[in-house]
Amino acid sequence: MFRDTINLLRKDLLLEARGREVVPAMALLALSTLVVLHFALGQQSLDGKLAAGALWIAILFSATLGIGRLFVAESEDGGMDAVLLTPVDRAAILLAKVIALFTFLVMVQIVIVPAFGLLLLGPHLAPALPKLVGILLLTDAAIATVGALVGAIAVQSRLRDLLAPLLALPLLIPPLIAATHATAGILATGGPEGIPGRWPLIIALYALVFGLLGIALYDNVLDD
């Protein structure tokens, strides 16, 4: 299974490296969202819950775009049928997609977090960065586990570009609410505050539940 996962992941990353379709589009959408918020809010810098909300709104929009494009390569020209006919564990397909989406999110955040600091946060990004990175990575894992399952369901429909965000948005609200609460104290003007343990725990449990749910349902989803 490990080798199958690596091979499938390599395929997804090579397709993205050659085509450059998903990550640039995700980054552009997130940056556009931050620019709109910068001018709409009309403040030199934000802090606390307002800053956290702005950051996670941008990440949410970019994530829904990435989820909608996650299975596009397999849906075209019978690519999914070819994958399913190969002797690979179905769980490896799911895991490869989870890691691929997680990688895309991290790549996008490498671009948008500095932009977020420049446009909306002001000079107090650097002290918050170590704790912020931890919350970002944990929430990316939750988004990726949800997104891989939602993407597999949406790709079966001819309306996948509409269905993916409709399914993903309500499912991503709970971990993003927890992430916003966890991030609010980190982005306080007076300096990073401690993170209440319940919020990272909620995000981690959400990722675990959807990971197990994806493993349980993935065979049926792909066969349909």
The pTM score is 0.90
Name, in order, each residue with C-beta under 8 angstroms of 223's C-beta and a sequence gap of 6 or more.
none
Q: 16-20, 33-37, 220-224 — which one is most confidently predicted on average?
A: 33-37
pLDDT of 27 > 90? The answer is yes
pLDDT digits (tens, 9 = 90+) for 116-174: 988 887 667 778 888 899 999 999 999 999 999 998 888 777 777 788 888 999 999 99
According to the model, what pLDDT value does residue 86 have? 64
According to the model, what pLDDT value does residue 24 have? 94
Residue with the bigger pLDDT between 184 and 159: it is 184
The pair of three-digit structure tokens given for residue 42, joined into one six-digit string: 């009309």
d(CA 15, CA 44): 40
Residue with the bigger pLDDT between 121 and 63: it is 63
The pair of three-digit structure tokens given for residue 206, joined into one six-digit string: 């959400």
**Contact present, 139 and 175 (Cβ < 8 Å):** yes
d(CA 182, CA 176): 10
Can you say how many angstroms the Cα of residue 215 is from the centroid of all Cα atoms in its chain? 19
